[in-house]
Structure 1
Amino acid sequence: MNDDIIAEKSFWTKKWFWITGIIVAGLILLVISNFAGDIINFGQAYADPLLCQNAIDKANKNKEVLQNFGKLEQIDKLAILEGSTVYYNDNNSVAVTVRVFGEKEKGKMDITADRTGKTWKYKSIKIRNTKKNTVIEVNN
């Protein structure tokens, strides 16, 4: 009979591959869950183009916007995806930032609005010219 002592491998040595895999998978799930909310917000804004379109229509009636930017163009679907969208208050309130192009200048439009039924009531519409560092508040 052989009396040699067999050294037992440590738990980490035996299971390092599985533990590392679980940690990496957990980190990936954490990153995906953070982006999932942003994707849902963009999807909602993308599906509701009247939110931004009605704000553009209101801005095009503002004399100061027309003087500084000219008539603003209609927003395309890509502008919503390039911007920032945050829904809150059980998806009944929104804060959106999108790029806008006027006949004279381009800038950013910041919208905050509350949903009443199927329509949006605008709390604030601001047009920013990032080059000139000016902000125009559009009256509702």
Structure 2
Amino acid sequence: MEKTENELVLRKSWWSRNWKWFLPLTILSILSFGFILSSNVAGSTTDIIQAYSDNSLFEGAIQKANSNQEVLKIIGTITPLDQLAILEGNTSYSTGYNSVHSSVRIQGTKTKGKLDITAFKKGTGWAYTKIVIRIKNSKEEITVLD
């Protein structure tokens, strides 16, 4: 009979096999997270989240725009904003979320444009100080409220 030797195969630990990619990735993740927290990106992210949750800001502005005859003539009736329009837009709130400047894309029954809003908090609603619609193709502006 032939003798066989059973060898015990030792496997390296997870850390000794993967440290070359895990360590740099961890350091990069920590640095990226720190950069986001220390920059204005964090502020604009919270502004977008606030705008996303505050539909009344945009609904009121669209309602005022839809009552303007020039808007109806050129753009048509503006449809309610989809949530992606708010995320794609540019919104910036004051420190206490008492005032806001926002620009979002809109879709009318005739053409597209951008809705620019400036407003301040009044009770539980918004008081608009400026509503302007910029028409996409003609570069024309319609001042709804100034």
Shorter-chain TM-score bucket reads 0.7 to 0.9
Match of residue 34, structure 2, among 29, 32, 36: 29
Question: Within 2, Cα distance between the matches of 1:86 and 1:71?
Answer: 26
Unmatched segments (≥5 aa) in structure 1: 1-20
Cα distance in structure 2, aligned partners of 1:60 and 1:125: 12
Q: How many residues are treated as equivalent by the alignment?
A: 121
Deviation at 1:77, TM superposition (A): 1.3
Q: Are residue 78 (structure 1) and residue 84 (structure 2) matched?
A: yes
User: Percent identical across equivalent pairs?
Assistant: 42
Q: Shift in Å at residue 26 of structure 1?
A: 4.5
Q: Determine whether 1:47 maps to 2:47.
A: no
Which of the residues 91, 98, 105 maps onto 2:104? 98
1:121 aligns to what SS in structure 2? Answer: strand
Alignment match of 1:129 (pick from 123, 135, 144): 135
CA RMSD of aligned residues (A): 2.1
State TM-score, norm by structure 1: 0.78
Q: Which amino acid aligns with 1:106?
A: K
Structure 1 CA distance, aligned partners of 2:35 and 2:95? 24
Residue 94 (structure 2) aligns with: 88
* Structure 2: gaps spanning 5 or more residues: 1-25
What is the TM-score of this pair, normalised by structure 2?
A: 0.75
Which of structures 1 and 2 has the bigger CA Rg? Answer: 2
- After TM superposition, what 4+ stretches of structure 1 lie above 6 angstroms from structure 2? 21-24
Offset at 1:139? Answer: 3.0
How many angstroms does 1:22 deviate by? 7.4
